[in-house]
Amino acid sequence: MSTQSSSHAHASPSLRHRFVRLNPRFDRDETLGLLKSEIQRFQQHDNEYPLPVPWLNFKEYQLEFFAIPGEFSLNRSTSFQSGRIYGMDVTSGAAVAALLFDFYDVVDPAAPNNQNKKRKPVSGEPLRVLDLCCAPGIKLCMMADLSPASSILVGVDISPQRISLAKNIIKKYHIDASTSASQSTSVIADAKKHSNAENEFPSRVSIRLYHADGTTFGTNESNSTVKNGLVFDSNAALDEFRSRGKRKRTNKSAKAREKRRLLELQRREEDENANDITAGGNLNGKKIDTVSHYICDLMNDEDIGCTCTLAVPPFDRVLVDVECSTDGAIKHIEKNQSASSSRSSVWDDKNMDELIDLQKRLIYSGFRLLKRGGVMIYSTCSLSSKQNEHVVSSLLDECQDSFLIPVSFSAHGESSREISFIDEGSIPGTVRFKPIVYDVKGGHDSVDCLLPGNGFFLAKIGKRQN
Ligand SMILES: C[S@@+](CC[C@H](N)C(=O)[O-])C[C@H]1O[C@@H](n2cnc3c(N)ncnc32)[C@H](O)[C@@H]1O
């Protein structure tokens, strides 16, 4: 499938870059070899791409992010079409890495029992992970790739169009045998060999997608304008995929079958959750004795002004990657810089206030759905304090069970020095990534060998045990 050479034959080389992440189910060296040859054919000369990203990839733990030329068309490349790589910004990778690993947490070496020791990636215990604003699902895929075996990942999004994009991306990378490589045991063995020895390659996780309002998801409140529905379950999709060869059915009946199956799964799940709440139950291996134990031990409703009960078991990790004004995204900055763009920002005071209100409701909801002892990341691709530090402060001020976990991406690995494009936010321990800004011709003053990505903000928040 060599569409690359013809479509890119006359493209000129550029210093602009974008990022990809390797799919761990495929042989690493083969993927890198294929990608390199495609890039060389595109640029028509030998070059160093794909370049590893030194501030995010470490010897101890390879997140497998690489920079590629900005003009290289992923959609037309065989590496992308075959599912060997994901198109994903490094800052998005940083958010997922901070959520799943404590490697980037700032540990005070002076504090007793809190030595600055080398830490391990997530342990083998299965996790319940929630992505409250998940679409199009690129961070959810990374979480699914890096979470321990048997973890359950739940993605929620309010937009039906975007949740359907997420469904397609998850099908591509986790279900479809030709692009996920998940059916091949030799590929899995190979991926294990190439992944960090301490981190077992996750053989199987469950991914569920809900079309729902994240501000009320999992509670007994519901948004009447949004259908609260399970729209995808990876186990059901895998079963369907495997049995497809045996049956001769039309697309229409396959869709109807999928719908029936999801409704049945949702009903069963709701019954199980109701049993947990009304008769006690078992949550992540922990026995829950009584209704009040379940509600009091695992919820945190009073101090965030919510009197509703949770209809889903809470989560070990929650990502709240909210809708934002996107002013940190390089594409957005370039659009605004462009002489042809006469359109100024679409955010006036009124809808900005509404946006910030939504962000606050989402961060509160994420925190409500977080288990005690759990960890949450709040992130945006905006650099506005109102959408970042102010939202985080509001949660920290309101919820006495919340606390900030300081994170740094500049103090580790090969580059244990200050990195010019990574700042601390105005709340110490939060992180601001400054975007590399290209001029209108696509060039920039100097290429930073540490490879910055989009403008981005992230804060890591914990929920106290009791
Ligand atoms: C920045 S994007 C998320 C990107 C995603 N985390 C990823 O990495 O692919 C923000 C998402 O929030 C969704 N959203 C906006 N309001 C929401 C709400 N009330 N509940 C759930 N999702 C919402 C939007 O539809 C959009 O897909």
Concatenated DSSP letters of 185-227: HHHHHHHHHHS-TTS---S--EEEEEES-TTTTTBS---TTS-
Q: Is the beta carbon of 139 within 6 A of some atom in ligand 1? A: yes
Percent above pLDDT 90 for the chain: 45
Q: Is the beta carbon of 133 within 6 A of some atom in ligand 1? A: yes
Tell me, in angstroms, the distance from the centre of ligand 1 to residue 12's CA: 35
Residue 381 bears catalytic tag: yes
Nearest in space to 171 (alpha carbons), one of 232, 230, 129, 212: 232
Q: Encode pLDDT of 362-381 as tens digits.
A: 999 999 999 999 999 999 99
Cα 316 from Cα 462, distance rounded (Å): 10
Give the end-to-end CA distance of the chain in Å, rounded to a whole number: 57
For β-strands 229-233 and 128-131, DSSP reports them as unpaired
Nearest in space to 299 (alpha carbons), one of 283, 279, 285: 283
Cα 71 from Cα 32, distance rounded (Å): 18
Q: Encode pLDDT of 398-453 as tens digits.
A: 999 999 999 998 765 544 556 878 899 999 999 999 887 654 444 444 455 677 77
Cα 221 from Cα 245, distance rounded (Å): 42
| DSSP tag of 303 | G
Q: Confirm or deny that 289 is annotated as ligand binding.
A: no
Concatenated DSSP letters of 27-79: -HHHHHHHHHHHHHHHHTS---PSEE-TTT--SS----EEEEETT--STT-HH
Cα 226 from Cα 307, distance rounded (Å): 21
Tell me, in angstroms, the distance from the centre of ligand 1 to residue 229's CA: 16
pLDDT of residue 212: 94
- Counting atoms of ligand 1 from 1, which one is nearest the CA of 156? 21
Cα 237 from Cα 37, distance rounded (Å): 34
Q: Is the ipTM of this complex over 0.95?
A: yes
Question: Which of the four pLDDT bands, split at 50, 70 and 90, describes residue 353?
Answer: very high
Cβ atoms of 288 and 372 closer than 8 Å: no
Choosing from 139, 158, 225 the residue with most ligand 1 atoms within 8 A of its CB, the one to mutate for a pocket test is 158
Q: Encode pLDDT of 172-189 as tens digits.
A: 998 887 888 754 444 444
Cα 452 from Cα 90, distance rounded (Å): 8
Tell me, in angstroms, the distance from the centre of ligand 1 to residue 415's CA: 33
26-35, 41-50, 52-61, 101-110: range with highest mean pLDDT = 26-35
Cα 67 from Cα 434, distance rounded (Å): 17
Cα 260 from Cα 296, distance rounded (Å): 35
Per-residue pLDDT for 9 more than 90? no
Question: Which of the four pLDDT bands, split at 50, 70 and 90, describes residue 16?
Answer: confident
Choosing from 129, 156, 157 the residue with most ligand 1 atoms within 8 A of its CB, the one to mutate for a pocket test is 157
Minimum mean pLDDT among 92-101, 253-262, 314-323: which range? 253-262
User: Which is the catalytic residue, given 134, 324, 381, 399?
Assistant: 381
- Counting atoms of ligand 1 from 1, which one is nearest the CA of 132? 21
Q: Is 285 helix (H, G, I), strand (E, B) or coil?
A: coil
Q: Where are the beta strands (DSSP E) in 234-314?
A: 281-283, 286-288
Q: Which two tokens stand for residue 190?
A: 């190979």
- Pick left, alpha or beta for residue 276 (phi over 0 → left; psi -120 to 50 → alpha; otherwise beta): alpha
Cα 158 from Cα 465, distance rounded (Å): 30
- Counting atoms of ligand 1 from 1, which one is nearest the CA of 137? 9
Burial of 54 (0-12, 13-18, 19+ CB in 10 A): middle
